[in-house]
Structure 1
Amino acid sequence: MMPLHGTTASDAWARKTEELAAWLIGPGRLTGDAVAVTSGLAQRLTAMGVPLHRLRIAMRVDNPLLTAWGILWEPGMEAKIFTIPHAYLDTATYVGSPAQHVIETGTWLRRQLDQLDPEDHTVLHELASAGFTDYLAVPVAFGNGVVQGAMFATRNASGFAERHIALIKDLAVPLSAALEAIAMRRSTASLLATFLGEGPAARVQAGAIRRGDIVETKAAILLTDMRGFTRLSLTSSPPQLLITLGRYFEAVADAVRAEGGDVLKFLGDGVLSIFRVGENGRWTACAAAVRAVSHAIATARASDLPPFVAALHVGSVMYGNIGSLDRLDFTVVGPAVNMVSRLEGIAKASGETIVCSGTFASALPGTRTRTLGRFELKGLDGEHEVFAVVAGQVS
């Protein structure tokens, strides 16, 4: 049978290839969604007759805990995002793997899985055991020189045809164009969250980037401070001091984040955090703050860390960017922040572990507190009643 209008099968294949590349560069890229790009690519390849049964794309990320993230697609399942911790790079699963080969050499790799040698990597043998017959690892290079890995696998008895392999390799550049901006945004978001905290990072990404981009919000404020830090700094070696500080910061920060709070600053040996008051009112924010500090204290004790004190207050704060024209800091300021700073001094002087303001105590009537008396606080008018809080007591 003669092809219609003189169009050959190779012409049709070339046109579909161009359409898929155009989709990646245009609509796919503009989705801003790596899952949509990966799923869309896999579905279009399948529609073109490519016997694709697994697509896994991994991309590096600038994150203190993770080395990469990515998307896994298989037919009949919803594509899902996965993450890879830094420790993975030292495991036998990665060392010598096709992924390492692609990332470090920038060259593609194909293995027909029914023809494996005993010395082939474990990952390939595992895929073969799962019924896969052919495997193609393709480098996807970003503009900053970083190479990502896209891994294609099939269960088709004949594996991938040569034109399927050529198509997949030809799509590496359009796929890079579709994913690079998405990956860079995710990496930027991860860095911002690492240095600013989740809440401030979200506001900066939303456009709060100028000096004076400040909003007034109500929040429970938590300030922790290590006891005896000066003595510790004089008696510990610098490496040991940094290790101790890191473990203490981790105990506090993990507890704060677990309760939905934002860690805003590490101030020497202090940690400033807030729990914003939402629709559920002050009680919810204050209860979260007490639970967070109680958990942090328990973790520190179990880890044999130096003891620390905590001060709690709730009130209105100015939340946003302050600083000079060319150097900004995302933080909270206002009388409520001054209050919690003064309360921290009372905690240290009184020997109590957790203290709070009268305003905070009244917001948590079910919490066990006892008055420590009334105090004049530097920079604040009048006398203020201060309370000790029993850790873990939120009813």
Structure 2
Amino acid sequence: MDVIDDLNHWMMTEGRCANDPIKVVSHFCVTLNDAGVPLWRVNIGQRFANPLLIAWGLVWTPDGTESYDVTHARMLTDSYVGSAFEYILKNQRPLHKSLRGLDPEKDHVSYLEFAAAGGTDYYATLLDYGDRSQHGCTFATQSTNGFSPKHLEMIEAAKPGLASAMEPVTMRKSTKSLLRTYLGDGPSEAVWNGSIQRGERKTLEAVVLFSDLRGFTALTDGYGESEVFDALDCYFDVVVQSVEEMGGDVLKFMGDGILSIFPIQVTADRPHQCTQAALAARRVLVGLAALNDKRTKASKPPLDIGIGINVGQVSYGNIGSPGRLDFTVLGSAVNVASRIEVLTKSIGHRVLATKAIAETSPDLFKACGSHEVRGIAHSIDLFNLTEPDP
């Protein structure tokens, strides 16, 4: 099998260094096809070490290669339960199944769909990586004769090369995804690119949006743990989605507080980023209203929020001990955003902003007087965000 030897060599050299999973999978499938393995559809599934996504993968057909993601929730649905992927991981052996004469009452829906599309035969097998993780790949054909023992032998013989090329891609993708999940887009990129030394930081201008859940102490005292965590998750969903949709970056969850920033790369972007933060706050209020409608119907207490928005210079980087670092943003602009959020309850408006924010979007804000802010020697003018119509 010289062609398989050549394929494995390519995968272990050029493919391994390509950092391009589409190129790797496409080359793998086209080479096998040209060698006589009648491939019609190939799915290379890769497991993630991530609390939000459990897997990702690529689907190859003669028309092209596309990638996909799999959430943890999907693993509990019929799309996974009873599938070939579940079978090979559970039984630790390949699966070879004819797609002819299927039983709609017993066979998994994926087999039925492949058969309806002209599939005749199906093969699923495991990829083993150096960290002892296991990943799955499936092969389907439309050939009248299906897969022969020789075809399956060629697929198995080519797996070491495929694993060699895909493992570093999967490890990098998994690490970057994990960093983004816990640090957000900007910090994760900085850490990935090498900004990992203690005390290493950069200074930039940014809009800071600090949000806090009102009545959190009463919620924790009056309700069970599951109810509290459910409320927090729903609140976090509303804020994170709103901030990210408007181009911001969520940096931290601090109990029931959320710190987000809208970086200003050049001075000309300042008005735009201030407006984006204000619009994100509006989206939070709209999302919270929809969430509270659902909570009321479920006989759950409504949630309320306070938001402070400010703009200024911040320091962005690593702090901590030699053995434990935290990537965060610090500075007076952050402190002011946090402290004017505290004033939302006493002033009577859920979103307060400084003059520097309000003057960029005068149609979104109304003046609400000059107020003392803890830690600032003089009073500052504050503006409340006009709330959207219910």
TM-score strictly above 0.5 = yes
Identify which of 33, 46, 60 aligns with 1:46.
33
Whether 2:296 is the aligned partner of 1:300: answer: no
Cα 1:120–1:386 change in 2 (3 A) is: closer
CA apart distance, 1:62: 2.7
Q: For 1:92 and 1:371, locate their aligned partners in 2 and report how far apart those are by CA, in whole Å.
A: 54
Deviation at 1:218, TM superposition (A): 1.3
Aligned partners of 1:117 and 1:353: how far apart in 2?
58
Q: Which structure 2 residues correspond to residues 215-364 of structure 1 after superposition, within 5 A?
A: 215-279=202-266, 281-304=269-292, 305-364=302-361
Find the residue that maps to 1:79 and give its secondary structure. Answer: strand
Contact 1:63 1:187 in 2 (8 A): yes
> Match of 1:384?
380
Native 8 Å contact 2:275 2:357 kept in 1: no
1:201 matched residue in structure 2: 188
Distance 1:330 1:202 in 2: 11
Q: How does 1:26-105 map to 2 (within 5 A)?
A: 26-75=13-62, 77-105=63-91
How far apart, in 1, do the equivalents of 2:227 and 2:81 lie? 31
Q: Distance in 1 between matches of 2:321 and 2:52?
A: 31
1:328 partner letter:
L
Does the 8 Å contact 2:197/2:318 carry over to 1? yes
Q: What is the rounded CA distance, in whole Å, between the counterparts of 1:131 and 1:222 in structure 2?
A: 54
2: CA distance, partners of 1:101 / 1:239 = 33
Deviation at 1:331, TM superposition (A): 1.0
Residue 36 of structure 2: SS of its match in structure 1? coil
User: How big is the shift at 1:234?
Assistant: 2.0
Q: CA deviation at 1:36?
A: 1.2
Decide which structure has the larger Cα Rg and report it: 1
- Distance apart, 1:117 and its partner CA: 5.3
Please show how residues 104-115 of structure 1 align to structure 2 within 5 Å.
Answer: 104-114=90-100
Residue 146, structure 1, aligned to residue 133, structure 2: yes
Contact 1:217 1:317 in 2 (8 A): yes
Deviation at 1:168, TM superposition (A): 0.3
Q: What's the offset of the Cα at 1:248?
A: 1.1
CA RMSD of the aligned region, Å? 1.8
Distance 1:266 1:62 in 2: 21
Q: Is the 8 A contact 1:370 1:389 kept in 2?
A: no
Q: Distance in 2 between matches of 1:36 and 1:343?
A: 51
1:20-44 Cα deviation digits (max 9, x unpaired): 0111111111111211111110111
Query: Number of matched residues?
Result: 378
Contact 1:372 1:388 in 2 (8 A): no
TM-score scaled to structure 2, two decimals? 0.92
Q: 8 Å contact 1:259–1:292 — kept in the other structure? A: yes
Q: Distance in 2 between matches of 1:237 and 1:157?
A: 60
CA distance, structure 1, for counterparts of residue 306 and residue 112 of structure 2:
54
Contact 2:21/2:169 (CA < 8 Å) preserved in 1? yes
Aligned letter for 1:70?
G
Structure 1 Cα separation of the partners of residues 103 and 227 of structure 2: 48
What percentage of residue pairs aligned between the two structures are identical? 36
Post-superposition shift, 1:382? 3.0
| Offset at residue 392 of structure 1 (A) | 4.8
Q: CA deviation at 1:116?
A: 4.2
Which segments of 5 or more consecutive residues in structure 1 lack a partner in the other structure?
1-13
- Quick one: distance in 2 between partners of 1:115 and 1:171? 30
CA contact (8 A) 1:293 1:391 kept: no
| Structure 2 residue identity aligned to 1:247 | C
TM-score calculated relative to the size of structure 1: 0.91
Alpha-carbon distance in structure 2 between the residues aligned to 1:52 and 1:286:
53
Give the secondary structure class of the aligned counterpart of 2:375.
coil
What SS does structure 1 have at the residue aligned with 2:64?
coil
Per-residue CA distance 1:56-92 (angstroms, 9 max, x = gap)? 11111133332211001100x2311011222222222
The answer to whether 1:129 aligns with 2:113 is no
Pair 1:370 & 2:357 matched: no
Which of 138-147 and 309-318 deviates more?
Answer: 138-147
Measure, in 1, the Cα distance between the counterparts of 2:219 and 2:114. Answer: 53
In the TM superposition, residue 252 of structure 1 has moved relative to its aligned partner by 0.8
Answer yes or no: is the 8 Å Cα contact 1:313–1:340 preserved in 2.
yes
CA positional deviation for 1:146:
2.3
Work out the CA distance in 2 between the residues paired with 1:91 and 1:371: 51
> 1:115, CA displacement in angstroms?
5.2
In 1: Cα distance, 2:322 partner to 2:384 partner: 41
